[in-house]
DNA sequence: ACTGGATATGGAACGGGTTCCACATCCGGC
DNA sequence: GCCGGATGTGGAACCCGTTCCATATCCAGT
């Protein structure tokens, strides 16, 4: 409860002197320092960050927007971003936009209301127009939000290529291919275009299913798997995001077909869940930690007012061979 | 950039009137309202939340501390807490204390520095003494932090009983039992005490392994599994937290033993990962969503200054039968 | 005509820091 | 002895809203 004025009075100095001492700025005589120190201790003084923030117009808080927290890709992203922000003295405000569709707007508005200093958004929902209005530090994860907002993503085209080539080398002829929703503009579509292109080139049949926008939960993936299996398609290869690939594999196993003998799987993302299933999944691995680091780095540059030439950062992907493919 | 003063000047009114209008408090004539509205629009005025916060001594931000974000139990907890806080108009600041051991202290200090209004802590590290000093809204998840801090937890004793009885009914005679670290005081130990008690009562041999404090990651679990398997113990039942149980099962399968025929598994927590492995795991399920809801409810009561009789909230657990046990 | 409550408004004080300017002192150099 | 830079200090102004008090008007009731 004690404020800087109380400290100043108790120590018989001016408020300016106390402030200078607290911030180690300007001159304060050693003797005065001690007097103030004693006064602070006696009054149990703790600076009120709110008042500081008001003056400096910054809070040291970054909002991170994700469509879903539970999806391991986003979980890991959040985890890494938090660590990276912490390193640079920032705190992370986390926002899950899945349930409340107006949450994204609300969190963006926080930029204007000076509650957060910047935003990292991995959300794939809002109209791009909303972002155009805002000229504050924003970085996008895997999403195009207009010219002025830098994007961090992986080389999805290469990811699509790796997946396609792997399934081809494994001799797959009839492939289930689950793509993201095309209602949002995002770099990730590249992997599906490239995948299809290569499959076409090689005259391999694919069965393409477009997933619904903004659903990343297990329940939905189960629905999709049930639906697809009901069609009794004869397939020998699957390309899908981690959790969906896994659900698909489990259903395959439950239908008494062997993996990888009868069906090969390549998962996209390569989060930890692809490593805890048996057989371990072959996966295209996104370097989530690097994505997080780059996102924070870019945002930090924006915050410091540095010029960023990096409007788009593209990181490499790798394939991690598991036992859902043979070669 | 425009402030309330600019608006007042432009609309030819006093700042008080503008403020009253913004907050819908006190009287403002309809005509004046319109004038102010126009001025606000022209100046593109957005209230500065920071100034508001300073006056009201609140930020609407709650810090949530967890030892690990990636562990699905905590992930789900965070997810639910965020949603619940959002409902009540609060934002969540997320802190992972795993990497930086002083992070916990720093985030607690935010309470004093008025950066956050309250704390929900699921962290199992800091000395309880640190918490005793703080008389601000704090709620603990599954951890005792002293008389004055309410705890939300599940009935671990019952969980231990359910696990024990299940393995016994399944005819297990030699059981691997992985317990949490006993260096922290937490309600969760109850499950291990009860489990051991029942096993002793029934003269069933257990092999007990105490896990290291504050490690919830896969890498560590793998190490533990490798270590235990190296001992070539002959076991027919396992009781462990989700991810560890899964790693254990996978290693079992890789050693060409059949699940559940040769070895039965009961996982503790029952997060989604126990549902995506084949065979699906039998698990003691913690009602994470309820834990989150109760945590937020208690914290909210503290924030409102309501008396809480609820110093300890105990929620029920359930067993979800999967295919890693037979009966 | 008088009174009192409802309606309406302006502006000073406040919340708790930071910064800057004015001013004072001390010391070394010429 | 004078000058100028380094050292040191107090306090007003500011950051941007909120609240409260003083003041004013209007209208209905008696």
pTM for the full predicted model: 0.95
CB contact under 8 A, A54 and B51: yes
Could you count the other beta carbons within 10 Å of the beta carbon of residue A9? 15
What is the token pair recorded at B288?
A: 């994470």
Disruptive mutation site among A80, A106, A278 for chain B (greatest number of B CBs within 10 Å): A278
Between A77 and B305, residue with greater pLDDT: A77
CA angle (A313, A319, A324) in 5-degree steps: 145
Chain A residue with minimum CA distance to B99 = A83
Give Cα separations from B247 to B34, B46, B220, B254, B265 (angstroms).
66, 53, 11, 11, 11
Residue A230 pLDDT > 90, yes or no? yes
Give the mean pLDDT of A47-70. Answer: 96
pLDDT single digits (tens) B93-147:
999 988 777 888 889 999 999 999 999 999 877 778 888 888 889 999 999 888 8
- The average confidence (pLDDT) of chain A is 94
Range 243-302 of B in CB contact (< 8 A) with A? 243, 246-247, 250, 253-254, 272-273, 275-278
Can you tell me whether residue B304 is helix, strand or coil?
Answer: coil
Rg (CA), chain B: 26
Q: Do B48 and A113 touch (CB under 8 A)?
A: yes
Distance B55 CA to C6 C1' (A): 29
Contact B79 A86 (CB under 8 A): no
Which position has the token pair 């879903």? Answer: A68
Chain A residues whose beta carbon lies within 8 Å of the beta carbon of residue B276: 218, 243, 246-247, 250, 273, 277
* Confidence band, pLDDT 50/70/90 cuts, at residue A259: very high
B67 touches chain A (CB under 8 A): no
Interface test with B, best of A86, A107, A220 (most B CBs within 10 A): A86
CA distance B169 to B266: 12
B50 touches chain A (CB under 8 A): yes
Contact A276 B275 (CB under 8 A): no
Does the fold of domain A156-286 match that of domain A61-153+289-316?
A: yes
In chain B, positions 143-182, which contact chain A (CB-CB < 8 Å)? none
Give the start-to-end residue ranges of the domains of chain A.
4-55, 61-153+289-316, 156-286
Give the CA B183 to C1' C8 distance in Å: 65
**pLDDT score recorded for residue B166:** 98
| Whole-number percent of chain B with pLDDT over 90 | 82
Burial class (CB in 10 A: 0-12, 13-18, 19+), A102: exposed
Closest by CA to B97, choosing from B68, B70, B56, B132, is B68
Interface of B with A in 21-40 (CB under 8 A): none
User: What does the pLDDT average to over B295-317?
Assistant: 88
| Residue of chain A minimizing CA distance to B51 | A54
Question: Which of residues 99 through 138 in chain A touch B, CB cutoff 8 A?
Answer: 99-100, 103, 110, 112-115
The contacts of residue A168 (CB under 8 Å, 6+ apart) are A198, A199, A202, A204
Q: What is the pLDDT of residues A120-144, one digit of tens each?
A: 999 877 778 888 888 889 999 999 8
CB B281 within 8 A of CB B246: yes
- Chain A residues touching B59 at Cβ < 8 A: 50, 115
Give the minimum alpha-carbon distance from B201 to chain A in angstroms, rounded to a whole number: 34
CA distance A157 to A195: 8
Using the CB atom, is residue B30 less than 7 Å from strand C? Answer: yes
CA-to-CA dists, residue B117 to A14, A50, A117, B61, angstroms: 30, 12, 19, 6
Closest-CA residue to B219 (of A275, A72, A76): A275
The DSSP letter of residue B279 is S
- Distance, in Å, from the CA atom of B132 to the CA atom of B127, rounded to the nearest integer, reads 9
- At residue B184, the pLDDT reads 79
Nearest nt to the CA of B55 via C1' is C15
A69 vs B86: CB contact, 8 Å cut-off?
A: no
- Token pair 């990292």 in the structure block, residue: A120
DSSP class of residue B273 equals G
Give CA separation, A295 vs A146, A291, B205, B320, in Å: 16, 6, 52, 40
pLDDT bracket for residue B307 (50, 70, 90): low
> Residue A124 in 3-state DSSP?
coil
d(CA A201, CA B19) in angstroms, rounded, equals: 66
Look up the CATH architecture of domain A61-153+289-316: 3-Layer(aba) Sandwich (3.40)
Among B45, B89, B94, B247, pick the best mutation site for testing chain A contact (most A Cβ within 10 A). Answer: B94
Q: Which residue has the higher pLDDT, B212 or A62?
A: A62
Q: How far apart are CA B144 and CA B135, in angstroms?
A: 15
Structure tokens at B238: 């396992």
pLDDT in tens, A166-194: 999 999 999 999 998 888 788 999 999 99
Cross-chain Cβ contact A75/B70 below 8 Å: yes
Cβ <8 Å between B113 and A82: no
List CB contacts of B80: < 8 A, sequence separation 6 or more: B288, B289, B291, B292, B293
Question: Band of the pLDDT at B1, cuts 50, 70, 90?
Answer: confident
* Res A309 pLDDT > 80: no
Provide residues 34-93 of B with CB closer than 7 Å to any strand C atom. 51, 54-55, 57
> D6 C1' – A31 CA distance, angstroms?
18
Q: What is the CA radius of gyration of chain A?
A: 26
pLDDT 10s digits, B240-259: 999 999 999 999 999 999 99
On the question of pLDDT at A214 being above 90, the answer is no
Q: Which of residues 46-65 of B touch strand D (CB under 7 A)?
A: 46-48, 50-52, 54-56
Q: How many angstroms separate the Cα of A40 from the Cα of each of A1, A141, B106, B113, B136?
A: 12, 45, 19, 15, 21
How is A167-206 classified by DSSP, letter by letter?
A: HHHTT--EEEEEE--TTS--TTHHHHHHHHHHHHHTT-EE
Size of interface A-B (CB pairs under 8 A): 131
A272: nearest CA partner in chain B: B218
Average of per-residue pLDDT across B7-13: 95
Q: Among A83, A99, A114, whose Cβ lies nearest the Cβ of B50?
A: A114
3-class secondary structure per residue, A310-321? CCEEEECCEEEC
Answer yes or no: is B32 CB < 7 A from strand C: yes
Q: Are B93 and A93 inside 8 Å of each other by CB?
A: yes
The CATH number that domain A156-286 falls under is: 3.40.50.2300
Query: Residue A307: is its pLDDT beyond 70?
Result: no
A10 touches strand C (CB under 7 A): no
Between the two ends of chain A, the Cα-to-Cα distance in Å is 68
What's the pLDDT tens digit per position in B34-84?
A: 999 999 999 999 999 999 999 999 999 999 999 999 999 999 999 999 999
Kindly state the DSSP code that residue B162 receives in the 8-state scheme.
H
Phi-psi region at A214: left, alpha or beta (left = phi > 0; alpha = psi -120 to 50): left
Q: Is the pLDDT of residue B227 over 80?
A: yes
- State which nucleotides on strand D lie below 7 Å from a protein beta carbon: 7-21
Does any CB of chain A come closer than 8 Å to the CB of residue B91?
yes
Q: Looking at residues A46-56, what average pLDDT do you find?
A: 96
- The 10 Å Cβ neighbour count of residue B174 is 14
Average predicted confidence (pLDDT) for chain B? 94
Give the fold, CATH level 3, of A4-55.
Answer: 434 Repressor (Amino-terminal Domain) (1.10.260)
- The predicted pLDDT at position A269 comes to 97
| Cα–Cα nearest to A134, from B48, B46, B37 | B46
Asked if B201 has any chain A CB less than 8 Å from its own CB, the reply is: no
């Amino acid at each position: 409860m004690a404020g800087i004025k109380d400290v100043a009075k108790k120590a018989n100095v001016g408020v300016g002197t106390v402030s200078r001492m607290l911030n180690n700025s300007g001159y304060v005589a050693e003797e005065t320092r001690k007097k103030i120190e004693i006064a602070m201790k006696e009054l149990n003084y703790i600076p009120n960050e709110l008042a500081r923030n008001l003056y400096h117009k910054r809070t040291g808080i970054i909002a991170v927007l994700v469509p879903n927290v539970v999806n391991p890709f986003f979980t890991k992203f959040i985890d890494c971003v938090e660590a990276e922000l912490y390193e640079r003295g920032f705190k992370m405000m986390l926002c899950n936009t899945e349930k409340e569709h107006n949450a994204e707007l609300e969190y963006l508005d926080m930029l204007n209301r000076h509650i957060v200093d910047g935003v990292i958004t991995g959300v794939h929902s809002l109209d791009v127009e909303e972002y155009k209005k805002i000229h504050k530090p924003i970085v996008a994860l895997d999403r195009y939000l207009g010219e002025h907002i830098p994007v961090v993503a992986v080389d999805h085209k290469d990811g699509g290529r790796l997946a396609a080539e792997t399934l081809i080398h494994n001799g797959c002829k009839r492939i289930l291919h689950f793509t993201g929703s095309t209602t949002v503009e995002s770099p990730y579509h590249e992997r599906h275009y490239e995948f299809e292109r290569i499959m076409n080139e090689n005259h391999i049949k694919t069965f393409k299913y477009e997933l619904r926008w903004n659903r990343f939960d297990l329940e939905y993936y189960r629905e999709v798997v049930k639906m697809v299996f009901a069609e009794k398609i004869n397939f020998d290869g699957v390309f899908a995001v981690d959790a969906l690939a896994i659900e698909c594999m489990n259903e395959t196993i439950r239908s008494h077909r062997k993996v990888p003998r009868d069906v090969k799987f390549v998962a996209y993302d390569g989060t930890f869940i692809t490593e805890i299933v048996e057989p371990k999944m072959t996966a295209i691995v996104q370097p989530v930690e690097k994505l997080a680091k780059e996102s924070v780095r870019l945002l930090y540059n924006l915050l410091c007012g540095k010029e960023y030439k990096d409007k788009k950062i593209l990181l490499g992907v790798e394939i991690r061979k598991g036992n859902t493919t043979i070669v």
